[in-house]
């Protein structure tokens, strides 16, 4: 066990830290903005007129990605279901709509593989190293698909610093507590012994619903600190605000 402080807020008897990936360990905002526009462009070419509705749902503009939009906070599965619903609205049968969306998403994945080699945010590796040296268990729990999480870990040589890493490929996703509870089970810890660190309200709500020891928000991701304070036990603006207290 260890005592940790995040921006001066102390959490005692912590056994594990669970990290979000996109927006927390990795700066992926620009990547997902590009991917979102590619998905919309291809779907609109197949179903003319659907593009504007999809851009709004995904939270896309020409220059930004809205932090509360589906692309920023939703899982791959949720994005597929939402996109297929807009196709169904235009007369497509459900099976065909979902198949087209999944095909186009895979095509865009092949054309935009950069998420698999995005570097860990500067300073993050050192924090993970210090946590591991202190004997804390660590995991990545991302709403991204597992293959992208695996590639991120491999590309950044993080495997030896982590006890587990996973995405959410299907089923309940953040903020449902199930993915976090499953991760805790794999780590062999109770939620009350865990601090969850993420950049999104869904990370923090998931942590609270699961009964985590702490829910910590980071302000450098998709969401500013002001949007996290309601759910966060602490918010940090820099890695240096994380301290091991012995």
Residues 91-131 pLDDT 10s: 999 999 999 999 999 999 988 877 778 999 999 999 999 99
Contact predicate 25/120, CB 8 Å:
yes
What is the pLDDT confidence band of residue 219, given thresholds at 50, 70 and 90? Answer: very high
Q: pTM (2 decimals)?
A: 0.92
Which residues lie closer than 8 Å to 219 by C-beta, 6 or more apart? 199, 225, 228, 235, 236, 237
What is the pLDDT confidence band of residue 1, given thresholds at 50, 70 and 90? Answer: confident
Is the pLDDT confidence value at 58 over 90? yes
Same domain flag for 155 and 222: yes
Is the pLDDT confidence value at 68 over 90? no
Over residues 136-182, the pLDDT tens digits come to: 999 999 999 999 999 999 999 999 999 999 999 988 999 999 999 99
What number is the average pLDDT over the span 65-72? 88
Rounded Cα gap, residues 138 and 128, in angstroms: 8
Rounded Cα gap, residues 62 and 55, in angstroms: 10
- The reported pLDDT for the residue numbered 120 is 96
* CATH code for position 189: 3.40.50.1000
Q: How many domains does the chain have?
A: 2
Contact predicate 147/167, CB 8 Å:
yes
Residue 175 Cα distances to 4, 73, 110, 142, 231, angstroms:
24, 9, 28, 11, 12
Strands 137-141 and 164-166, sheet pairing: parallel
Between 222 and 232, the higher pLDDT residue: 232
Residue 236 Cα distances to 89, 95, 113, 189, angstroms:
42, 44, 30, 24
Same domain flag for 165 and 206: yes
Same domain flag for 124 and 214: yes
Same domain flag for 73 and 99: yes
Point out which residues pair with 16 in neighbouring strands: 137, 194
Over residues 3-52, the pLDDT tens digits come to: 999 999 999 999 999 999 999 999 988 899 999 999 999 999 999 999 99
What are the strands of the beta sheet with 164-166, ordered from one edge?
Answer: 164-166, 137-141, 16-19, 194-198, 214-218, 234-236
**Domain end point (choices 116, 136, 164):** 116
Residue span of the structural domain in which 133 resides: 2-28+119-244
Helices 94-111 + 29-46 axis angle, to 10: 130
Contact predicate 143/110, CB 8 Å:
no
Point out which residues pair with 8 in neighbouring strands: none
**Domain end point (choices 78, 101, 116):** 116
Contact predicate 165/140, CB 8 Å:
yes
- The reported pLDDT for the residue numbered 6 is 98
Point out which residues pair with 22 in neighbouring strands: 26
Which residues lie closer than 8 Å to 224 by C-beta, 6 or more apart? 67
Same domain flag for 70 and 108: yes
Same domain flag for 164 and 237: yes
Mean pLDDT of the chain: 94
Same domain flag for 14 and 62: no
Same domain flag for 102 and 136: no
What number is the average pLDDT over the span 214-240? 91
Same domain flag for 100 and 132: no
Rounded Cα gap, residues 147 and 176, in angstroms: 21
User: With the C-alpha atoms ordered 59, 144, 99, 82, is the resulting torsion angle positive or negative?
Assistant: negative
- The reported pLDDT for the residue numbered 34 is 92
- The reported pLDDT for the residue numbered 46 is 96
């Amino acid at each position: 066990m260890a005592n940790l402080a995040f921006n001066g807020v102390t959490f005692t008897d912590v056994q594990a830290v669970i990290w979000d990936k996109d927006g927390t360990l990795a700066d992926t905002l620009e990547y997902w903005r590009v991917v979102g526009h590619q998905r919309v462009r291809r779907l609109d070419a197949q179903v003319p007129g659907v593009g504007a509705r999809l851009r709004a749902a995904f939270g896309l503009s020409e220059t930004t990605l809205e932090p509360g939009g589906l692309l920023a906070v939703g899982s791959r599965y949720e994005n597929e279901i939402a996109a297929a619903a807009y196709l169904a609205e235009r007369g497509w049968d459900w099976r065909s709509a979902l198949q087209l969306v999944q095909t186009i998403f895979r095509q865009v994945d092949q054309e935009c593989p950069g998420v698999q080699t995005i570097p860990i945010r500067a300073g993050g590796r050192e924090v993970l190293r210090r946590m591991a040296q202190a004997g804390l268990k660590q995991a990545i729990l991302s709403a991204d698909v597992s293959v992208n999480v695996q590639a991120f870990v491999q590309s950044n040589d993080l495997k030896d610093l982590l006890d587990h890493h996973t995405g959410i490929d299907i089923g309940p996703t953040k903020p449902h507590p199930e993915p976090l509870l499953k991760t805790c089970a794999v780590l062999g810890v109770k939620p009350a012994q865990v601090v969850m660190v993420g950049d999104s309200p869904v990370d923090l709500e998931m942590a609270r619903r699961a009964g985590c020891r702490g829910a910590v928000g980071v302000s450098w991701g998709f969401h500013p600190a002001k949007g996290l304070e309601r759910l966060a036990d602490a918010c940090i603006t820099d890695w240096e605000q994380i301290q091991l207290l012995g």
